[in-house]
Amino acid sequence: MKTVVILQSNYIPWKGYFDLMHDADEFILYDCRQYTRQDWRNRNQVKGVDGLQWLTIPVIGKFGQRIDETMIANPAWAPSHWKTLVQLYRKAPHFRTYADQIEALYQAAADEQMLSRVNRIFLQGIGSILGSNPKLRWSSEFPRVEGKTEALLALIRAVGASRYLSGPAARSYLAADLFENAQIELSFKNYDGYPEYPQQYPPFAHGVTVLDLLFNAGPDAPWYIWGWRE
């Protein structure tokens, strides 16, 4: 059974995003959708001695623009974010293990002008480190279909999948009967039960960037995302 996940790209997302990637045979970046402000597309949280803080990529905002039309406002964001990560995580147990690889991703991303392409660099790079490597596609590769559920079904059919795995929030708007009529299995990811890992600076926070997990847990990071269920 071929499983597909269809999701907007996020910047250095939390572990749940990579949990979905791990379960997918194909992962479609749904970046033809409208860009939403103060969301996860261009920012994520890191953890320091003073608590949670945001790393935000500055973008040029235009009314009604799509995610894949969103341009970065200042290329200086990349070295600035990397400097912050070094300051916050240089004493983490596994920072040195992955520092060169993550810094290389920031160097590659600094040359990109479009937010979607920056996010894809990190999704592919971090996914490779974790051992989660589904085939990544752009939704713009396929014809556009109107309707929330209808658009998803068209993408699922286009890649020949028979199972769609969604995040739990989509239960509120997906039309399950349309999936049943199309003979496509509809499943929802359960984010409950993730075990805590040895995180710097308590109290523990699950919703931070996956880089926090990687720098603190090192090679055991995949176990804290999906291995604990097996």
pLDDT digits (tens, 9 = 90+) for 108-160: 999 999 999 999 999 999 999 999 888 999 999 999 898 889 999 999 999 99
Give residue 62's pLDDT.
Answer: 84
Residue 163, Cβ neighbours under 10 Å: how many? 18
* Interior/surface letters 64-87, b for 16+ CB within 10 angstroms, e for the rest: eeebbbbebeeeebbeebbeebee
d(CA 12, CA 130): 13
Mean pLDDT of 204-218: 98
Give residue 64's pLDDT.
Answer: 87
With 90 as the cut, is the pLDDT of residue 61 above it?
A: no
Taking the model in full, what pTM does it have?
0.96
| Residue range 173-200, pLDDT digits in tens | 899 999 999 999 999 999 999 999 999 9
Give residue 211's pLDDT.
Answer: 98
Asked if 18 and 227 touch (Cβ cutoff 8 Å), the reply is no
Which residues span the domain enclosing 139?
3-229
Number of domains forming the structure of the chain:
1
